[in-house]
Amino acid sequence: MGVLTTTLPMGGGAGIAVPWLYLAFVSVMIMGMSNAVNLTDGLDGLAAGTVTIVALAFAGIAFRQNVLPSSLLGASIAGACIGFLWYNSHPADIFMGDTGSLGLGAAIAAMAVITKTELFLLVIGGIYVIETMSVILQVASFKLTGKRIFRMAPIHHHFEMIGWSETKVMVRFWIVTGIMAGLGFAAFFFQSVRFKG
């Protein structure tokens, strides 16, 4: 993505290279992940639980790369979310809201950027991709055909509408997140071993 790179002269022969396509990609990724986590924050404990799992996966990736500040950030986010879950579990005493979910999504995307694992974010944070795609498909289908694909979007509300309890949806989404985070971390690990060996 460094095709459109501009070097800004800083004096003394030094300069800063600005990769415009990469900056645009990172901006879209951070905004997208921020909003995707916000969409996921619709049930008690859902966003906090999934963010805990995803943040731990990125903490592991950062630790493997010896990027200890990012590893510490991921572990701290996970720990904060676990503490938050004590009060946010169903029925919730406190709620995350937009401020929390938008910030946590941006932090997850930032960890992916720092560790240069932007594409692994699609797998590790796959639950957020699923949630976002359910909204996009629902809106597109309704606008084009007048029919809905899901009973309600984001998809966690669809499962509520078909009779799953809020707790069942939350725990099953945690399980799916754990599986996807594990797959993403395993793919990263094997890719890093292959390139080192």
Q: What is the count of structural domains for the chain?
A: 1
pTM of the entire predicted model? 0.90
Distance CA 147, CA 128 (A): 24
Q: Cβ of 52: how many Cβ atoms within 10 Å?
A: 24
Helical segments of 115-149, H only: 121-124, 126-145
Tokens linked to 129: 């991709």
Bridge partners of 18, per DSSP, are 6
pLDDT digits (tens, 9 = 90+) for 119-163: 999 999 999 999 999 999 999 999 999 999 999 999 999 999 999
What is the distance of C-alpha 137 from the center of its chain?
19
Residue type, 37: V
Residue type, 160: E
Instruction: Supply the range of the domain harboring residue 17.
Output: 5-196
